């Protein structure tokens, strides 16, 4: 399965922190690891080795860095979204359609988040029906530090049809008392190729984010499956890099992970 990675954005909400550098390439620690380099590493460790990377802002820097940080076991294509990336992520997404035209399905990921490797192990170890969209979620007993959408589905099964994608605050107001947990949607989605056609059709409605296209796709097509991932949310599942506060949190998570590796080797 190929992985489509959206890395075109400027990172305007980082308040100049990533000035003149794609947000996904910002060095997070003394090793100069970035969200993109960590993403490559975790994907490659789980035999997900074929990447389509969409660039836009400072794409020459992206090209140069990808050649350095992409594992030797992987192959990649870099797609230039040109100035379309400024219109919104969905335009960056659509610019990759020709590179995936022979694929029945693909994994879609943002380049500006860090993910637990366990997510990609789950993808590696399972077969997914080709015509469906596949979403993933985990249950959190506390208000999450990252993630903005919840899923409503049959929580008695690890795999079910999705009923609705619910904004986090709406979940807190309307559903939390009933279920007593947050079913946090993970920003890793397996999509069928024909999702591109749906995304093109709804551009006229002013949609700018892929998430909104996904929401309408599930509502109209009625073929979106959702998988429960039994992961340790007390550790971390994923974390977005949108603000300087996010950067601090990500740096703390990387430090904790590295300390566990060192202690485990002693």
The DSSP annotation for the chain comes to -EEEEEE----GGGTTTTTTS-GGG---STT---HHHHHHHHHHHTT--EEEEEEBTBHHHHHHHHHHHS-TT-EEEEEE-GGGGGG-HHHHHHTTGGGGTT-SEEEEEETTEEE-HHHHHHHHH----TTSEEEEEEEESS--SS--EEEEE-TTSSEEEEEEEEEHHHHHHHTHHHHSSEEEEEEEEEEETTHHHHHHHGGGGT--SHHHHHHHHHHHH--EEEEE----TTT-SEEE--SHHHHHHHHHHHHHHHHHHHHHT-
Domain count, the chain: 1
Q: What is the pLDDT of residue 262?
A: 54
Q: Is residue 211 part of a domain?
A: yes
Q: What is the pLDDT of residue 84?
A: 86
Q: Is residue 249 part of a domain?
A: no
Res 34 pLDDT > 80: yes
Dihedral (CA of 2, 160, 176, 221) sign = positive
* Range 11-38 average pLDDT: 82
Lowest mean pLDDT, pick from 23-37, 122-136, 159-173: 23-37
Q: What is the CATH number of the domain that holds 209?
A: 3.90.550.10
Q: Is residue 99 part of a domain?
A: yes
Segments forming the whole domain that contains residue 103: 2-131+187-226
- How far apart, in whole angstroms, are the C-alpha atoms of residue 117 and residue 46? 8
Nearest to 96 by CA among 83, 81, 111: 81
Task: Please state, as a whole number, how many other Cβ atoms lie within 10 Å of the Cβ of residue 169.
Answer: 10
Task: Please state, as a whole number, how many other Cβ atoms lie within 10 Å of the Cβ of residue 43.
Answer: 25
Q: Is residue 168 part of a domain?
A: no
Q: What is the pLDDT of residue 232?
A: 73
Q: Is residue 247 part of a domain?
A: no
* Range 237-245 average pLDDT: 89
The overall pTM is greater than 0.85? yes
Q: Is residue 210 part of a domain?
A: yes
Angle (CA) 148-153-156 rounded to 5° is 120
Res 260 pLDDT > 70: no
* Range 11-30 average pLDDT: 78
Res 14 pLDDT > 70: no
Q: What is the pLDDT of residue 15?
A: 53
Res 266 pLDDT > 50: no
**91-118 pLDDT per residue, tens:** 999 999 999 999 999 999 999 999 999 9
Q: Is residue 153 part of a domain?
A: no
**143-170 pLDDT per residue, tens:** 998 999 999 999 999 999 999 999 999 9
Q: Is residue 142 part of a domain?
A: no
């Amino acid at each position: 399965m190929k992985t489509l990675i959206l890395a075109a954005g400027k990172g305007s909400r980082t308040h100049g922190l990533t000035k003149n550098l794609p947000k996904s390439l910002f060095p997070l620690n003394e090793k100069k690891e970035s969200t993109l380099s960590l993403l490559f590493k975790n994907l490659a460790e789980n035999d997900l080795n074929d990447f389509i990377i969409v660039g836009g802002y400072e794409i020459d820097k992206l090209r140069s860095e990808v050649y350095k940080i992409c594992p030797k076991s992987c192959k990649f294509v870099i797609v230039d979204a040109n100035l379309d990336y400024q219109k919104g992520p969905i335009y960056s997404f659509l610019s990759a359609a020709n590179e995936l035209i022979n694929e029945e399905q693909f994994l879609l990921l943002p380049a500006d988040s860090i993910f637990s490797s366990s997510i990609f192990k789950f993808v590696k170890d399972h077969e997914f029906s080709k015509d469906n969209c596949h979403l993933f979620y985990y249950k959190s007993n506390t208000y999450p530090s990252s993630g903005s959408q919840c899923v409503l589905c049959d929580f008695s099964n690890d795999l079910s049809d999705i009923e609705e994608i619910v904004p986090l605050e709406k979940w807190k107001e309307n559903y939390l008392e009933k279920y007593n947990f947050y079913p946090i949607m993970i920003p890793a989605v397996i999509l069928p190729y024909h999702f591109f056609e749906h995304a093109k059709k709804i551009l006229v409605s002013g949609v700018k984010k892929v998430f909104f296209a996904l929401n309408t796709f599930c509502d109209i097509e009625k073929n979106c499956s959702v998988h429960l991932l039994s992961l340790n949310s007390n550790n971390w599942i994923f974390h977005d890099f949108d603000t300087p506060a996010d950067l601090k949190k990500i740096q703390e998570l990387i430090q904790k992970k590295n300390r566990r590796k060192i202690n485990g080797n002693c």
